[in-house]
Structure 1
Amino acid sequence: MAIGIMSALVEEISYLLEKIEIRRKETFAEKSFYIGTIAKEEVILCHSGVGKVNAAMTTQILIDHFHVRSIMLTGTSGLLDTNLKTGDIVVSKDTVEHDVNFTHLGDKLGEIPGMSVYVYEANPLLKKIALQAGKGMKGIKVVEGRILSGDQFIASEDAKLNLRERFQGTAVEAEGAAVGHVCYLNKVPFVIIRVISDEADDTAPTDFRAHLEVVAVHSQLLILRILKGIAALKSKKRINNQSH
């Protein structure tokens, strides 16, 4: 069983595509899936396209067709936490769909009617490995936080403040909570790794375009370090099992 690694944009996995030893490529629903190994770990790389529907569909394909054992979403995001800066990385504690609003029916903001939860928690072990791996990244702050998702690009100081106050978000993007939602329903472990590309303010569109390719490498470097951490953990377990 492989680890699914996905992003919204090809630029957000381009570095990992250079690192993978590809065995084959498959296509489903106009999405390309690259099957191979990185750091001795079996992986499937793919970019879903932008937005929650694309992300949810791609996540379900990874689960149903490829039977992945876990999923990591990587890519860029807008800044909500003023203690961070462009190029820093947020590892998901949990994730919420900020654009869901059924409050007129008595549900909480972000809550989907009929769902028992609306805050999707990242897998504790994947999160721990990610944060540990982040300690070795020089000049890049790696923190745990809440990642908000909605089918919109946040480019307003008022919207940014509103999201931070209502949801206590650390970063905002357009796919993470959809991945968390699908993984929760399928009982598949996940974690989201997001690098800050802009400050979700009036200059966000310009900043995003200017920073995309440069900062996207940061989160992919962390993914690579996570894969090495997973391989090391598995090796340690094998040694411990052999010693008993």
Structure 2
Amino acid sequence: MSYLGRTLALALLSPGATLAQPLDSEPRIAVMSAFEPEWTTLLADMAEPQEHVLNGIRFITGNLGGKPVVLFLSGVSMVNAAMTTQLVLDHFNVEGVIFSGIAGGVDPALSIGDVVVAAEWSQYLESVFARESPDGSFALPPWMEPSGIASYGMIHPQAVGVMRQGSETVEQLLWFPADPEWLKVAEQVAGRTTLEDCGTAGECLAEAPQIIVGGKGVSGQAFVDNAEFREWVHATFDAQVLDMESAAVAHVAYANRVPFIAFRSLSDLAGGGEGANQMATFMDLAASNSAAVMTAFLEALPD
């Protein structure tokens, strides 16, 4: 055997080496949430669940909303979300990716409990932390092109380079789209889906929740509970909602050319509320509302 052959054989036999092998061949929709409170309802509603474990992550195949799905938790954060999305695409026959979970609201017109199904997502912390000038401003390096997105102090958001199958050049993208056909289905179910306004522990919303299909969401590696930063996000990105995973999932789905959509219900106002952050109070209610809209979406999807 040649040196190259021996090296390849040893690499394939080593404990750290993994090859993408299908764990399940049936075409399925990947349904993901960030952490356990977001998927409790979904897991309970799964028909014929079967568990697969990969890299310590539980992937549950079965039927949800009458559709074959693979359900799993991404873990909180952009890196976890991107990693697990690619993992499910590599090891299952995935026809599209759906995210269901909670988020912070950044649009003053929205309230806790509302569900947002954004049409596009941006990674607002894909940024340059700029050097401070003598006059107190923060300037990009002279060789760097501005993105056209207004900065927040030293934070200058930038586009991210993306390679995908069939592309010969790196695309520089600020926004990653939800699938337009899936958005149409979401619009159809929005008008006939009822949201809860009181949780199981007796906590109730001040206003009846609504479903918003369209608009924009942003994601980043920070939990935001700051009124000033919230205002900048809304004004700069015209965003309705902010979270820590959706844009990363949209990025991976775009690179792999598979449909993507995210259902996010507001558990808090990202620092915009009058008192302390209310995520712990309304997390279960928001997660249930997101799951309700997402399940109705699955039921309405054409076979």
TM-score (norm 1): 0.90
Asked if 1 retains the 8 angstrom alpha-carbon contact of 2:225 and 2:277, the reply is no
CA drift of 1:38 comes to 1.4
Amino acid corresponding to residue 106 of structure 1 in structure 2 = E
With over 3 angstroms needed to count, the CA separation of the structure-2 counterparts of 1:51 and 1:211, relative to structure 1, is same
For 1:221 and 1:18, locate their aligned partners in 2 and report how far apart those are by CA, in whole Å: 13
Amino acid corresponding to residue 221 of structure 1 in structure 2 = A
Aligned residues: 232
String of CA shifts for 1:5-56, please: whole Å, max 9, x gaps: 0010111111010100134111122211100011321001111110000000
Asked if 2 retains the 8 angstrom alpha-carbon contact of 1:131 and 1:142, the reply is no
CA drift of 1:127 comes to 1.1
Match of 2:164 in 1: none
- Structure number, greater radius of gyration: 2
Match of residue 135, structure 1, among 188, 191, 196: 191
Matches within 5 A, 1:169-180: 169-180=239-250
With over 3 angstroms needed to count, the CA separation of the structure-2 counterparts of 1:205 and 1:176, relative to structure 1, is farther
Asked if 2 retains the 8 angstrom alpha-carbon contact of 1:88 and 1:195, the reply is yes
For 1:174 and 1:121, locate their aligned partners in 2 and report how far apart those are by CA, in whole Å: 17
For 1:9 and 1:107, locate their aligned partners in 2 and report how far apart those are by CA, in whole Å: 36
CA drift of 1:107 comes to 4.8
For 2:223 and 2:276, locate their aligned partners in 1 and report how far apart those are by CA, in whole Å: 8
Match of residue 168, structure 1, among 227, 232, 238: 238
- In proportion to residue count, which structure has more helix? 1
Flag structure 1 segments of 5+ consecutive residues without an equivalent.
Answer: 235-244
CA drift of 1:214 comes to 1.6
Match of 2:96 in 1: 70
- 2:94 aligns to what SS in structure 1? coil
Matched, 1:36 2:62: yes
Deviating 4+ runs (over 6 angstroms): none
For 2:54 and 2:146, locate their aligned partners in 1 and report how far apart those are by CA, in whole Å: 35
CA drift of 1:137 comes to 2.5
Matched, 1:209 2:265: no
CA RMSD of aligned residues (A): 1.6
For 2:276 and 2:172, locate their aligned partners in 1 and report how far apart those are by CA, in whole Å: 35
CA drift of 1:202 comes to 6.3
For 1:205 and 1:30, locate their aligned partners in 2 and report how far apart those are by CA, in whole Å: 35
